[in-house]
Amino acid sequence: MDDHKKQPKLIIVVPCYNEEAVLPITAPMFLEKLTELSASGKISDDSRVMFVNDGSKDKTWEIIKRLSVENEHYIGITQSRNRGHQNAVLAGLMESKDICDITISIDADGQDDINAMDAMVDAYISGCDVVYGVRSSRETDTFFKRFTAQSFYKFLAAMGAEVVYNHADYRLISARVLQEFSGFKEVNLFLRGLIPLVGFKSTSVEYSRNERLAGESHYPLKKMIALAVDGITSLSVKPLQLIMTLGIVVAIVSFIGCIWALITQISGRAVAGWASMTCIICFVSGVQLISLGIIGEYIGKIYMETKQRPRYIISERTYDK
Ligand code: UDP
Ligand code: MG
């Protein structure tokens, strides 16, 4: 059995996009947690908080640079432009994997309870390589957000994309897992679906999720739907199989329809069947268009994958690599 390091070097990876309102509030909270963890001897004292500026249009990067001057425990990298949450987290994780033992990724807005980090580190020390932060309740969410989020997980599961229920991107990952994960080259990133595929011993830790401390959410319904579609199509080909099933069902129904039409014709009872014709045409062309759309989504994914573009581009660091 491989025993995990007793005092691992931790890097807390924090993606930040236009977070100037919340960063001055949450950055000291992350640092305080880091100090507390190293004071209690759970992590080494050269642990760090790494901010990943995701091409923010406001003062976020200036704030990160200032923080890194004020305290050596803060470090920062910036992406050359906005690439989205998943790519920002990936940039931070890949940047960290060679300079630490464990990482914990967490949102910048203070929604995820930082106190769950103690249990996460404990789980690592007792032998786990991945620790998922799982939300225990969604009381602070609006009904709409709760409902859409729940539908999101159910839909993902039904479509063959297994993800940890109520787990977003708050998790501990060891450097060892990140080394293996760096071999997953896909550009269509859905981290919470991919990390379980790497394997290794994992567990989850419950935490309560609060409201955003300041600033605005970047995940309106439109982005949530996009994330769901991305999640499904990058983890599973079940929708393609469903099209096949649907095609077979429609074909059988059409066949029965043909026989019925033939009998009506032969028995001389055929009338101008405008309504039934219209319905059938509308239905079948609808099915065809949806099917084409789904196939198109996969082709689009293949197209993007074949380009093999870099998944993140770091334009500046607050430290020397
Ligand atoms: N984020 C990012 N790039 C983006 C959008 C968001 O790095 O293009 C970061 C954001 O700064 C935050 C995290 O991703 O730390 C989650 O975003 P947000 O809190 O807006 O989403 P929500 O919690 O509402 O789902
Ligand atoms: Mg948030």
% of the chain with per-residue pLDDT over 70: 95
- Cα distance from N-terminal residue to C-terminal residue, the chain: 33
Kindly report, residue by residue over 244-285, the tens digit of the pLDDT.
788 888 888 888 888 888 888 788 776 667 777 777 887 787
Mean pLDDT of 170-177: 95
Model confidence band, residue 48 (pLDDT cutoffs 50, 70, 90): very high
Of 8 and 168, the structure prediction assigns the larger pLDDT to 8
Best mutation site among 12, 17, 89, 213 for ligand 1, i.e. most ligand atoms within 8 A of its Cβ? 17
CA–CA gap between residue 156 and residue 151 (Å, rounded): 8
H or E segment and range at residue 15: strand 10-16
DSSP single-letter state for residue 19 = -
Amino acid occupying residue 296: G
Kindly report, residue by residue over 17-38, the tens digit of the pLDDT.
999 999 999 999 999 999 999 9
Kindly report, residue by residue over 90-111, the tens digit of the pLDDT.
999 999 999 999 999 999 988 8
Protein residue closest via CA to atom 17 of ligand 1: 218
Best mutation site among 25, 77, 107 for ligand 1, i.e. most ligand atoms within 8 A of its Cβ? 107
Question: Does residue 69 register a pLDDT over 80?
Answer: yes
Kindly report, residue by residue over 292-314, the tens digit of the pLDDT.
888 888 888 888 888 888 999 99
Tokens of 293: 């759309």
Kindly report, residue by residue over 186-219, the tens digit of the pLDDT.
888 888 888 988 889 999 988 887 777 777 777 6
Query: How many Cα atoms are found within 13 Å in the side-chain-facing hemisphere of 282?
Result: 6
Short-list 186, 178, 295, CA closest to 235 = 186
Q: What is the pLDDT of residue 1?
A: 46
Q: What is the pLDDT of residue 139?
A: 65
Q: What is the pLDDT of residue 65?
A: 94
Protein residue closest via CA to atom 25 of ligand 1: 219
Place of tokens 């935490």: 207
Question: Does residue 151 register a pLDDT over 50?
Answer: yes
Of 140 and 91, the structure prediction assigns the larger pLDDT to 91
Ligand 1 centroid distance, CA of 62 (Å): 18
